[in-house]
Each structure stands twice: as structure tokens, then as C-alpha cells.
Homo-oligomer: A and B are copies of this chain.
Amino acid sequence: MQRIALLERFSRNFNGGGGSGIPKALLVVCAVSGGAGFVAYSEAVSNNTPTVADLTETQIKKKRVVVLGTGWAGTSFLKNLNDPSYDVQVISPRNYFAFTPLLPSVTSGTVEPRSIAEPIRNIIRKKKVEIHYSEAECIKIDAQNKKVYCLSNDKTNLKGREEFAVDFDYLVIAVGARPNTFNIPGVEENTLFLKEVEDAQKIRKTVIECFEKADLPNLDDEARKKLLHFVVVGGGPTGVEFAAQLHDFLAEDLSKLYPTIKDFVKITLLEGTDHILNMFDKRITAFAEDKFKRDGINLRTGSMVVNVSDKDISIKDIKSGSISSEPYGMIVWSTGIGTRPVMIDLMKQIGQGNRRVLATDEWLRVEGSDTIYALGDCATINQRKVMEDIADIFKKADKDNSGTLTVKEFQEVLKDICERYPQLELYLKNKQMHSLVDLLKASKGDIKESVEVDIEEFKSALSQVDMLMKNLPATAQVASQQGVYLANCFNRMEECQKNPEGPLRIRGEGRHRFHPFRYRHLGQFAPLGGEQTAAQLPGDWVSIGHSTQWLWYSVYASKQVSWRTRALVVSDWLRRFIFGRDSSSL
């Protein structure tokens, strides 16, 4: 109930007359509140550069939007934001956008690290919107005082980290997630992740170092086997693609350069469930498992990691319960995502402390806050359930307050209800029904003429609908579409304030300002190595093989964020075809 109350409160603020609830002036709050050693942003006044203090004079009406993160969601938001009435501040520890679907290719040196990175300053430089970028990490979000606290990077030998605070009118959180270790002991210390470009570089270096060490003159076979045992934990798309890339790298390139030790190499892929790629069609899973077996990849499904020491990985067979230990050279951990500490702290502030992931509504607004948006891997959309709102839906549809609904009444609100509750549309589609009316008919039995149902009949007709609700996957595609969506909302904020375009409010008056976010799945690839790729395209169309690999090449080339990275990635692929992959320990 509390959640509904909160939601209603800020829905009202936002959509109704709520626009006026947002303070328009006083962009820079000079007081240092909750300081904890932080230097106020207002101290940045300098003589030569235009600062926020100057800007307040000339651009008093600009709303300050702070964007956290330069990944898929943040960059896509920035690229699509066109309304020059915002003053945008981007904060991210990474001064570039990385085309993460090519990270597995970076681990084998097929693609160069810099080829998939586009400096964020290159992207924002071309915009007409005023966008500033600061290379720093947000370490605390103060939702109450609309302030974020940041700490600059300390990657190189420049001494000390700078601290600063930034005020916002709107906050767009797109900080992504961290790898999920499930608190398994030793994972953090002894395994490598595959989330950042630096991770991919480190994996590549470690593979080469394992080979170089295994080729030293004074080792026995056991030591060589240990060093050349590569373990991949997680049979999702990333883990599978990495295992495939690693296999190709070893088979096509390293085996030629290290002929005397190539027979000691073993790749083990661990997956907790019974099958790898279990979010894909069964045909793809079967093909991948077959191919990996043919390639000699040691596929162990139904296996759970229970401990990782600096020498061994302990694996529990879920069926038998037996635990075995194996020495390893390198472990890559790719088992899904967890919540960043800064987000956990925010969730506590806004009454989401008992959730695992930050929840937003269908408009990507953080539940419990009226000025904070979150998108990408750092949040999930909390789609409202039909059954929770069933009384309100009935009431809204029953215009004449008769206690029963007629077909005509239905049809008037049908479109709005389907937009507000997409699971309903999906349900009808799955059952091959053309409208809600068919559903009601079905629930009442085969009554041909005008249908009229009461609330109980209505409930029973819709009782199964919410079972079709699914969280969106944590993919680049979702994050990117959310960025586009939110930028369009920001671009038309004032326009839609006057002429709301969204569906009817079920638990309130009038209409929602915007259409809710709707994800369009464009398909997903699973590269399996050896120039073979599987793809699951919209409409459950499955395509596997060499031709799909070429589709993969063309889609990934076309999706590059700039002509520069496109040219680089394509030339990297060419280079790999001609010269193979590089094995220098750089």
C-alpha cells in the first residue's frame, strides 16, 4: 500500500499540475549540506572559464540534468537529447562509451580495445545541448537535497582524488551493475570478470601469461596442466561467447606458437542449470552444446562453484551433491549482475531498502522519488499488475457506475488498458484473441450477443494475465532503447505537459503525460566460435551457422556508435582474417 501511495503522489506531481512542483530557479544551492568533507560545487568559481556561478546569471531558466554513467543507457540518452533548454552534467569514471557486445572479441585480441571505445567528449561535442562531462565516480546520491557526491579517478600516478558535489533538478541514473559473486568465498580475489574493457585486456594478458609460464623449461606436466586449465563460470551468452572465443584463439593461433604444450590445454565451462544458453530457443542450446563437445570444451552443467582458492576451484555437482576441486590457470566469472553500493544506499533513502534492485515505474521514474530516473542494468521496471489494480480498472471502465461492464464500455478503454498493462496484450496474443471482449466472452462461456460482466467475472477472466509479466533482460539492447525513450520524454517534457499523450490514468484523473516505455526485442546473437553464430530473431525465428556469423558481422558493424569505431572494428576483423590474432603480452 505504501508503494502505491508513493507512486500516486509523484504521479500526481509529475503529470497533473505537478510540473509546478519542480523548483525552476535556484539551480545552484550554495549551502554545503551533508558535507562529510565535500567541497561545495559553488567553490569552483574561476576567472577564465564559464562556471556554474556565471551560468546562473545568464541561463537562470535552464534545468540541470545530471547523468550518471556513459554506458549504453547513458550514452543513448545523451545522443538523443535535443532540447537545448537543459544544462546537462555527465559524471562517469569512464570517459568513453564501450561497445560491450564486442568485449569477448577483445579478450582474444580479435578486436582492439580502443576500437570499441568512443570518447564521450566526441559524442557530446556535436550536440547543440549544453553538456559537460566530468571523469569521476558518483559515490553518494542525496535524493532529498537533490545532490550527488563524486570522487575523481585514481587510475594513473596522479596523486590524490578530487571530491566534489553537483546539484540536480533531474537525475538520470545509468551506472550499470557490478558482477555478481553471490558472496562465494574467493571469487572477488581470484577470478576475472568481463564487464569493462580493462577486464577484457586483463583476460587476454592472463591467457598469454599462462601459456608463457607453462612453456618455461623447469615445469612438470602437472604444473603445465594447471596453468593451461581455463575455467569459465556461467553459461549465459557472455560466458558462452567468451569460451568460444578462447577456444578459437587457442586452436587457431596459440597452438601454432606453443606447439609443445598445446595438448595440456583444457577449457571448462560451468553452468548451474541443466543447459547453457537457457534463455535461447532449445535448438540453439542443443547446437551450442553439440559444438562445444566437438570442440573439446569440457561442459559441466548442473555444477555450482562453492569456493575459489588461489590454486583450486571447488565445484559442487548439484544432483549428487559431491564436491570436487580442480587446479586452474585462469577463471573468468560471468554469472550475472549485482547492485552497486551507491544504488543500495539510494534504495535505503527512498524506501526501497528491502529490494534487490532499484525499481522504476513504466516511465523509468524511480519509485519513491519524483526527479530521479534510472535505466539500464542498474534498475528494473516494476510493471504494475492487473490484479492489483483490478477494482480501479473496473471502475474506470464502468462509466455509468452500473456495477457491470458492457462491450461498448470496454472498447472505449481497451486501448488504454492494453497500453498500461502490456501483459494483457501479450496474453490476448498468446491465446489468439482479438480483443478483451473475446476474453470476457470466453470466461462467461459461449454467449454470443452483448456481453455484460460484473467485477467477479472480470477478475476471473483476468486472473492469469499477470503470469506473463517478465523482467526485461540486462542487455545493451534494453538499455539503449530506454535511453532513446527517456531522451524523447525529456525533449517533449513541456509539450506533453500541455497535451498528455499517455494512456488513461486508472487510479487518478486525466491521462499520463507520456506513453510508458515499451521494449522491442530485435533478436539476440550467440556467437559460438569457428565462424558459427546462432541468432534468435523476433518471432522466434532461429538462424544458425556461417551465414548468421555474417549477419552478426554486419549488424555489429552497423550498430557502432561512430564512423571511427566502425572503421576500426571492421579493419580489426580484416586484420584477424589476414594475420591471425596477436600473441604479444601487451
Residues of B within 8 A of A162 (CB): 213, 216, 218-219
Once A153-B212, A155-B205, A258-B121 are accepted as A-B contacts, the answer to whether A585 and B95 lie under 8 Å apart by CB is: yes
B217→A41 contact, CB < 8 A: yes
Chain B residues in 8 Å Cβ range of A153: 209, 212-213, 585
The answer to whether B212 and A95 have CB atoms under 8 Å apart is: yes
With contact pairs A39-B218, A94-B585, A114-B582 given, residues A156 and B48 touching in the complex (Cβ less than 8 Å): no
* Beta-carbon contacts under 8 Å, A185-234 to B: 190, 192, 197-198, 202, 205-206, 208-210, 212-213, 215-221, 224, 227
From B192, B216, B563, A134 is in contact (CB under 8 Å) with B216
Interface flags for A150-175 (1: CB within 8 Å of B; 0: not) read: 00110111110011101000000000
- Which of B224, B329, B579, B585 is A564 in contact with, Cβ under 8 Å? B579
Residues of B within 8 A of A330 (CB): 158
Q: Is A47 an interface residue, CB under 8 A from the partner?
A: yes
Q: A217's contact among B94, B166, B198, by CB below 8 Å, is which? A: B166
For residue A320, give the distance in angstroms from its CB to the closest CB of chain B: 31
Segment of A49-57, A268-276, A449-457, A473-481 engaged in the interface with chain B: A49-57
Q: Does A584 contact B (CB under 8 A)?
A: yes
For A166, the closest partner residue in chain B by CB is B217
Report whether B582 and A119 are in contact in the complex, using a CB–CB cutoff of 8 Å: yes
Q: Do A209 and B260 have beta carbons less than 8 Å apart? A: no
Q: Is the CB of A156 within 8 A of B217?
A: no
Q: A279 within 8 Å of B by Cβ?
A: no
Which residues on the B side are within 8 Å of A121 (C-beta)?
Answer: 257-258, 583
Copies of this protein, total = 2
Q: Is the CB of A329 within 8 A of B260?
A: no
Q: Which one of B41, B52, B114, B215 contacts A112 once the chains associate, using CB atoms below 8 Å?
A: B114
The stretch of A387-395, A425-433, A514-522, A567-575 that contacts the partner chain:
A567-575
Cβ of B43 and Cβ of A218 under 8 Å apart?
yes
Q: Is A263 an interface residue (CB 8 A)?
A: yes
CB within 8 Å of B: which of A225-274? 227, 256-258, 260-261, 263
Instruction: Choose one: B112, B152, B218, B584; the contact of A164 (CB below 8 Å).
Output: B218
Which of B46, B258, B261 meets A221, CB within 8 Å? B46
CB contacts (< 8 Å) of A564 on chain B: these are 575, 578-579, 582
User: Smallest distance from the beta carbon of A105 to chain B beta carbons, Å?
Assistant: 14
- Interchain nearest-CB distance for A482 vs B (Å): 24
Asked whether, in the complex, the Cβ of A584 is within 8 Å of the Cβ of B119, the reply is: yes
Please, which residues of chain B bring their CB within 8 A of the CB of A258? 121
- Are the C-beta atoms of A217 and B571 separated by less than 8 Å? no
Sample of 6 more A-B contacts, CB < 8 Å, known A158-B330, A166-B217: A40-B218, A135-B209, A156-B206, A157-B192, A158-B209, A197-B586
A residues whose Cβ falls under 8 Å from a Cβ of B:
39-41, 43-44, 46-52, 94-96, 109, 112-114, 117-119, 121-122, 125, 132-136, 152-153, 155-159, 162-164, 166, 190, 192, 197-198, 202, 205-206, 208-210, 212-213, 215-221, 224, 227, 256-258, 260-261, 263, 310-311, 329-330, 563-564, 567-568, 571, 575, 578-579, 582-586
